[in-house]
Amino acid sequence: MKKIFYILITFVLTAFSMSSLANSEGEAMYNALGCASCHGENGRSKDESIPSLAGNDVDWIVQQLEYFQSGERQNAYMNAMAPMAEGFEQSIAEYLAIQDPQK
Ligand code: HEC
C-alpha cells in the first residue's frame, strides 16, 4: 500500500513539474526567438499591424504556425519566423493561450 502511494505521488509530481516546465519552455522560446519583439510582451501586441496572440486557442496557434511553415499561409515575417519555432509550437501555444489578452 505504501509503495503504491509513493508511486502515485511520484507520478503526480512528475506530471505537475512537466506541465509547468512546458509553460516556462514556451515562455522562454517565445522570448528567445524574438516573437515578443513583434507580438508584444506576453502576446499582447501594441502595434495595430501585428495581431495579439494572448488568449488564443492552443490548437489554432499550432495550426497557424504549421501553415506559415508549409507556406499555406503567406506572410514574409511569419514564413521566416515560424520554422524557428519548430519543435516548440505546442509549448509556445500553451504559454500564449493562458495569457490574459486584456492586460
Ligand atoms: C517581424 C515581426 C514578427 C515576428 C518576429 C513574429 N511574428 Fe508572428 N506575425 C507577424 C505578423 C505581421 C502577423 C500577421 C500575418 C498576417 O497578416 O497573415 C503574424 C501572425 C502570427 C500568428 C497568427 C496570428 C493571427 O491572428 O492570425 C501567429 C500564431 C504568430 N504570428 C506567431 C508567432 C511566433 C510564435 C513567433 C516567434 C517564433 C512570431 N510570430 C514572430 C509578425 C511577426
Q: With a 6 A CB cut-off, is 10 part of the ligand 1 pocket?
A: no
20 pLDDT exceeds 60? Answer: no
Residue with CA at minimum distance from ligand 1 atom 17: 75
**pTM of the entire predicted model:** 0.85
pLDDT tens-digit map of 29-74:
999 999 999 999 999 999 999 999 999 999 999 999 999 999 999 9
Q: How far apart are CA 103 and CA 86, in angstroms?
A: 28
pLDDT tens-digit map of 70-97:
999 999 999 999 999 999 999 999 999 9
Q: With a 6 A CB cut-off, is 77 part of the ligand 1 pocket?
A: yes
Compute, in angstroms, the gap from residue 82 CA to the centroid of ligand 1: 8
Compute, in angstroms, the gap from residue 18 CA to the centroid of ligand 1: 27
| 2-97 CATH pick, 3.30.1200.10, 3.60.130.10, 1.20.1050.10, 1.10.760.10 | 1.10.760.10
Q: Grade residue 21 by pLDDT with cuts at 50, 70 and 90.
A: low
